[in-house]
Amino acid sequence: MLPSSLSRLKHSQSGNFFLFAGPCVIEGESMALAIAEKIVNLSDKYAIPYVFKGSYRKANRSRIDSFRGIGDEKALKILQKVGSTFDIPVVTDIHTEEEAFLAAEYVDVLQIPAFLCRQTELLEAAAKTQRWINIKKGQFLSPQAMQFAAQKVVDSGNDQVMLTERGTTFGYQDLVVDYRGIPLMQQFGYPVILDVTHSLQQPNQTAGVTGGLPQLIETMARAGIAVGVDGIFLETHPEPAKALSDGANMLPLDQLDHLLSRLSTICQIIKSF
């Protein structure tokens, strides 16, 4: 049975936005539990339904020497422990059909990376696990095209679908968010999430390490809430400069309280209209 906070996602317009948040990648158990505890306390403070996010393995890296994980089984068991310790749902990303069935044993939501959102066999395998499926919009796709990715999951016997906006390629080293895409994707009948940290990435840097604009995280998130997005996705870390993956666009954990306070206030104002 899915946690109650997940069963409410389809009806998120009646309350606060929901939050997917956590580190880019699982670096260790103590780190994951500490981040989760902090965010759980904040989500309770602001009445925000919360899903812990963490990659158990990173597959899409610019360089072969980039950090990719501490080991699949070890990281998945940490994700499972986070969920059971705090009684919260957990999401992780998958890259192959085999990974779908492996990860589904440990987490509640399977996430399809943006570069893989058109992979039919991956979407079919994810659907068959009967977990919630969060599909990130490809940087190369229009919002309207995401209806076909979602339909693949539905046609495979699973209507528990979410769609995530994470920016559109703008030149070689930048992304932009077209906020018109949020209501356009909501028309398909699925919760829509705004990934405010990956939308601020600056990929394809000459050093082979992705850059970012984390100082604009609040700006990006506030705009998304104002437009009426159902959920916010963000990556956070106690010390982003020391993070083993994607530190350049993560939110420092000690800034999350301020951000959630602002977003909750904006959300309540918007819903009062």
Which residue ranges form the domains of the chain, and what is each CATH number?
A: 17-271 (3.20.20.70)
Banded pLDDT at 8 (limits 50, 70, 90) = low
Q: What percent of the chain has pLDDT over 90?
A: 78
Q: What pLDDT, on a 0 to 100 scale, did the predictor assign at position 173?
A: 86
User: Which of 1-15, 166-180, 190-204 has the lowest average pLDDT?
Assistant: 1-15
Q: What is the pLDDT of residues 39-71, one digit of tens each?
A: 999 999 999 999 999 999 877 655 565 656 689
Q: 149: closest CA among 102, 106, 194, 112?
A: 112
Q: 176: closest CA among 204, 215, 139?
A: 139
Residue 52 and residue 150: Cα distance in Å, rounded?
A: 22
Banded pLDDT at 6 (limits 50, 70, 90) = low
| Pair 9, 15: CB distance under 8 Å | no
Q: What is the pTM of this model?
A: 0.91
| Pair 222, 266: CB distance under 8 Å | yes
Q: Report angle CA 26, 19, 224 to the nearest 5 degrees.
A: 120
Mean pLDDT, residues 177-199 taken together: 97
Q: What is the pLDDT of residues 60-116, one digit of tens each?
A: 655 565 656 689 999 999 999 999 999 999 999 999 999 999 999 999 999 999 999
Q: Cα(first)–Cα(last) distance of the chain, in Å?
A: 35
